Amino acid sequence: MGLFDFFKRKNQSENGSNLSDQASNEIPKDIFVEEAEPSESSNGLNGKPDLKGIELIYDFLQADYESRGYNDSLINPDDSYKTENIKLIRYDLDILIQKVTTYYEDLIREIDFHMESRGRAGLIDLVEELKTKKEMVLEHMEKVTALKKEAENNNGITQRIVLSYQRGFMRGLSALTQSKVLNKEL
């Protein structure tokens, strides 16, 4: 046992001297670690703050589909390609609507739980505040349901994405014709 104790003491003394050497050679923390809170513009996608609920749908509907259509027409000017991409955009909208609906349903369950438990605790003002929050969520859900019906019927503001994409696709086709045919020397 004495032999092992000898090696243990020797390793501890060597490690102690190595630690003091390492401490003097350390790189300052502030070179690699930023301790400031991220700004709102760095949250979420595309430099936008994290959006939730119906705001996600509105953001999706306001996106620039004209540029996307223009670029797609330059890649493949076929009408079937345009039709497939419009279907994909509509499917993306459907997926987003389902995600938002699920988010609101979960939020209502959470609010209901808190209303019930805080009501048992006698926190009447907090329960009233939760009821107001639930009413707002239900109003947003009604708007999401209306947007879903519009998307299914191909009318209303959800048609904006299709019209914007088609406009861009047509602009791209026009630009292709202009550059390849009309600008040729005769």
Q: Quick check: is 150 in a domain? A: yes
Confidence (pTM): 0.69
Q: Quick check: is 40 in a domain? A: no
> Do residues 153 and 160 lie in contact, with contact meaning Cβ atoms separated by under 8 Å?
no
Comparing 29 with 82, which gets the higher pLDDT?
82
Q: Quick check: is 123 in a domain? A: yes
Q: Quick check: is 110 in a domain? A: yes
**Tens-digit pLDDT profile for residues 46-80:** 455 688 899 999 999 999 999 999 999 999 989 99
**Tens-digit pLDDT profile for residues 87-140:** 999 999 999 999 999 999 999 999 999 999 999 999 999 999 999 999 999 999
Q: Quick check: is 70 in a domain? A: yes
Number of domains in the chain: 1
Helices 54-61 and 159-177 cross at an angle (nearest 10°) of: 20
Does pLDDT of 160 surpass 50? yes
Q: Quick check: is 6 in a domain? A: no
> Do residues 86 and 185 lie in contact, with contact meaning Cβ atoms separated by under 8 Å?
no
The pLDDT of residue 172 is 92
Q: Quick check: is 24 in a domain? A: no
**Cβ count within 10 A of residue 107:** 17
**Cβ count within 10 A of residue 119:** 14
CA–CA dist 55, 13 (Å, integer): 62
Domain that holds residue 159: 50-182
Q: Quick check: is 86 in a domain? A: yes
CA–CA dist 46, 59 (Å, integer): 11
